[in-house]
Amino acid sequence: MPTRRAVSLGGLSLVAAGSVSEAFAFDGPVADFVEHTQEFADAVDAYVYGYPLVTLEMTRRVMTNVAAPEALKAPMGTLLKAREYPSAKFRDVTAPNADTLYTTAFFEVGDEPWIVALPEMNGRYALFPMLDGWTNVFSAPGKRTTGTGPQTYAVVGPDWKGELPQGVVKVRSPTSLVWLLGRIYCTGTPEDYKAVHALQDQIKIYPLSAWGKAWTPPAGKVDPSIDMKTAVREQVNAFDAVDYFTLLAELMKTNPPAKADGPMLEKLADVGIVPGKDFDKSKFDPVLAKRIPKVAQDRIMLHFKFSDGDMKESAGWAYTLKTGRYGTDYLQRALVTVIGLGANLPQDAVYPVSQRAGEGVLARAYQGSEKYVMTFKKGMSPPAKGFWSLTMYDDKYFFVENPIDRYSISPRQDLKANADGSVDLLIQNESPGPDKESNWLPAPKGKFILMLRLYWPSESDPTILNGSWTPPAVRRV
């Protein structure tokens, strides 16, 4: 029988009945929680640990549940090619970007390797990270790491052994499931759209068995039982613990845990999850089935504010440098899954977000009824070797409709500098006038959120990677 000792959940010491009920609002008697303290804590840890794998699988199901490529969906093993930037009417994915066109695919390498062939990019910025089932970036070809010349990779499974064609670079995935999440920089003009489309059409993926042959991906099979309307995050969060752990155990058969996960696997075994086996429900108390997801989800989101340095705050901006590879930082991995599924390595991209002007008790949410300015002093614009941009979102993280169809602002707008060499970004609802529109980022009339994108941050000072450069505060005029 579990002991009645207190257990620390994410830094919260749950000792008194009052603190438990106030923090997590349990449905049942607190006595039940205390009686099952250790079992409950292990189950919450197991839920947090598995959150990326379960979420990515549910995302895969939705994004591949089509017979042929359409919008932002494509069958397994088929490239999805975004042909233009979304408009303000787009509501499928939160925090869309207007800087890169996506070229992505899901494929399985458990049975055989898959070839990923990239064309000559002619110096254009591009990035093709490959993520495993746990959302870790295990390879990141692109201009920063491998240049812009033609490249051919064979993505092999965890246990694959064999010979590859000459000139093919072997990349081993830790899991059977692979998510290729390519991005190609595009200015958004008709001419540049055409140029990037030509590059997208030269990118190829196919199984190794099709090497040297004409190969066309088969049509996808549509599963009518898959919920295509409810957001993936809501679907995952709606699972009770039994259904959640049943799916997690099934996924772990082909997406094995890392060697460093040994101590966590002991907790999973106590709950009834053993890699390679079905979920053992006999080891799990069904009384906890509904409570565990609620507490675990709260714990993940609490990490956003109480992260011991995993999340950084400066001048009204919040960002993290712990993305893409997480080791045993399972809480951070789960949080990034919630707020930025598919995040890059920080060496490839950092995404500071600002929801308020000012700091501390004087901070106020951005409002379109106000006017704001973000100033980069001379020589202190965002240090990014790829590109940087500032994107405008409404309070739901969607683009904002505006008269000049501008959703982000960057140097490609030919920003005008002040007499002292500084550059002002004018953030407001109404136009600042024709002579200043080059520096205008249109805002909605209501609340809004700002996101700064730094692709390929500078690796030497000043750089956001070591804190020698941080985003300047957005000032209310």
Q: Walk along the chain (477 residues) and give the pLDDT tens digit of each residue.
A: 333 222 222 222 222 223 332 333 334 444 354 445 688 999 999 999 999 999 999 999 999 999 999 988 999 999 999 999 999 988 777 888 999 999 999 999 999 999 999 999 999 999 999 999 999 999 999 999 999 999 999 999 999 999 999 999 999 999 999 999 999 999 999 999 999 999 999 999 999 999 999 999 999 999 999 999 998 999 999 999 999 999 999 999 999 999 999 999 999 999 999 999 999 999 888 888 999 999 999 999 999 888 888 999 999 999 999 999 999 999 999 999 998 899 999 999 999 999 999 877 778 999 999 999 999 999 999 999 999 999 999 998 999 999 999 999 999 999 999 999 999 999 999 999 999 999 999 999 999 999 999 999 999 999 999 999 999 999 999
Which residue segments constitute the domains of the chain, with CATH numbers given? 7-56+231-306 (1.10.3360.10), 66-210 (2.60.40.1610), 319-476 (2.60.120.600)
Query: Which SS3 state, helix, strand or coil, does residue 338 take?
Result: helix
Three-state SS at 251:
helix
The single-letter DSSP state of residue 351 is -
Residue type, 416: K
At residue 287, the pLDDT reads 86
Tell me the whole-structure pTM to 2 decimals: 0.89
Q: Which helix (H) or strand (E) holds 31?
A: helix 30-35
Nearest to 355 by CA among 338, 335, 372: 372
Q: Is 35 helix (H, G, I), strand (E, B) or coil?
A: helix
How far apart, in whole angstroms, are the C-alpha atoms of residue 235 and residue 241? 13
In 227-340, at which residue ranges do the beta strands (DSSP E only) sit?
A: 312-314, 317-319
pLDDT attached to residue 36: 53
